[in-house]
Amino acid sequence: MAVTTIDAKMLQKMFLAGAKNLENNKEWINELNVFPVPDGDTGTNMTLTILSAAKEVSAIEKPTMAELAKAISGGSLRGARGNSGVILSQLFRGFTREISNYDVIDAPILAAAVSRAVDTAYKAVMKPKEGTILTVAKGAAEKALELSAQTNDLEEIIRKTIEHAEYVLSKTPDMLPVLKQAGVVDSGGQGLVIVLKGAFDAFLGKEIDFEIAPKTAVRTADTDAVQEEADIRFGYCTEFIVMLEKTFTEKDEAAFKAYLESIGDSIVCVADEEIVKIHVHTNDPGLAIQKGLSYGSLTSMKIDNMREEHHEKVIKDAEKQAAAVKEQKSVQPKEPEKEFGFISVSAGEGLSEIFKGLGVEYIIEGGQTMNPSTEDMLEAIAQVNAKTVFILPNNSNIILAATQAATIEEKKNVVVVPTKTVPQGIAAMINFEMNKSLEDNLNDMKAALSNVKTGQVTYAVRDTVIDDKEIKENDIMGIGDKTILAVGKDIAETTIELIDQLVDEESEFISIYYGADVTEEDAEALMSQVEETYPDIEIALEKGAQPIYYYIISVE
């Protein structure tokens, strides 16, 4: 007998199964990244995005379609990381907007929902590129629309839609030559197919572990290194989300934060129109929970006894992070609001210090090795006391998440400067002048980006061929703004070759930022070689301390 409807309980199972299937396959999806770099992260980004929503979805005991829609859309929107994660969140956003007013999903509603999902995702991307997750989603939506006109059997519609999505995925190398040359299909499209397959397994009634693990603290291998109880001022790490049932104003938010500060520390209080996310270290979690209940119902509750469970290293690391956050809050609430403030994404102590020296108030730790989420951006915006907040993503895979945060933020004017590399971010900050208007500064900052060529040196994690360059696992690669420019066995030699490719007759300045895995002695030796090769160009050497990349090169 044909199944013709999907109720809220079934949709909940399907979504969680899709999330689980993606989580189980994330490393395989990471390996599909075209560039064989050690930080390929499409699978990780998509997984973190969907798990952000799955944690909220799994907490709903008796789901309605409207509740699921809110949890899926809101959770994925705030948790979105990387281009693939943001696009996935927009697909969910469009889908849930369509289903939220129904009690069950039938064939016509399903077809309309997947079509709206694709429309929403395409609109979120300024220059949609075919041969990506968008193409796979569009192919699936067109097939679902076609099938819904022929049958009301959802099993047949979903199965054939997934088959067609796989077919479209197999054709992505024909649409993007770089995929064909690397011998892979689009990783984002593959991730979407994995989600759909997991959801279909749940629809068919297959036995699946639906449990979504909560976030847990990182623990060391040394089980004897337990933090002494007396060293911890507040013993309970308390987290929960308030599902708002009444208006939550800026004044309410300030009052809530003040109350939490009166009973603990390590405060996080982030609000949007529908939820408030709370984190506090306190000796009485009940007080925080009781206060939260005055604004609405609670979900995603988690209380850890830090005195019993946390090891000494974990506590010290947490205190270090809390101190770093406190240090970044350079603007005290009593100080007047500034016209302009700055947020930069950075990985590496040296690079972060450079940005701070140029006037950046808040550093979001991350970059290519870990793309910050939309929620990370929103939390950073909340810490900068300025009317207009500039965000420097410094990575092409972070721009969409920053842009999404800018559209969500309502209290401040948020401007995303589309910096794709750290050197571009540095150039943008150098070209900002406080006495100029917003428009003039933005124009100057964007103009500065085109004057910067960036190179990055790292190692290959697999064999491949890109732009006719044969690359073997563990080879050293010099990556330019658009492709791999140099391949070799030696770090210094490959870096010199990369610089040769970047420098032209108009080049006046070369900046070399050496990473965490490079000694100062080796970096100075490299600089000497560059100075000898280019005696008429000014050379600067800085310790970036960035992970993964031996050197980051800027040529202007």
CA distance 478 to 451: 20
pLDDT, position 70: 94
Interatomic CA distance for residues 412 and 379, integer angstroms: 13
Q: What CA–CA distances, in Å, run from 107 to 93, 192, 198, 280?
A: 19, 20, 19, 45
Whether this prediction's pTM lies above 0.85 is answered by no
Cβ proximity of 4 and 106 under 8 Å: yes
Residues 214 and 52: their CA atoms lie apart, in Å, by: 10
Residue type for position 219: R
Residue 237: beta bridge partners? 281, 304
Output the pLDDT for position 509: 95
Greatest Cα pair distance in the chain: 80
556 residues of the chain, pLDDT tens digit each? 789 999 999 999 999 999 999 999 988 888 887 666 655 578 888 999 999 999 999 999 999 999 999 999 999 998 888 889 999 999 999 999 999 999 999 999 999 999 999 999 998 887 888 999 999 999 999 999 999 999 999 999 999 999 999 999 999 999 988 888 778 899 999 999 999 999 999 999 987 776 665 443 333 233 333 333 334 567 778 888 888 888 888 788 878 888 888 888 777 777 777 888 887 888 888 888 888 888 888 877 778 776 555 444 444 555 555 555 555 544 444 578 899 999 999 988 999 999 999 999 999 987 665 788 899 999 999 999 999 999 999 998 899 999 999 999 988 999 999 999 999 999 999 999 999 999 999 999 999 999 999 999 999 888 888 877 888 988 999 999 888 999 999 999 999 999 999 999 999 999 999 999 999 999 999 999 999 999 999 999 999 998 889 999 999 9
Please, what is the angle between helix 42-58 and helix 65-79, to 10°?
Answer: 140
Beta bridge pairs of residue 457: 478, 551
The per-residue pLDDT for 461 is 80
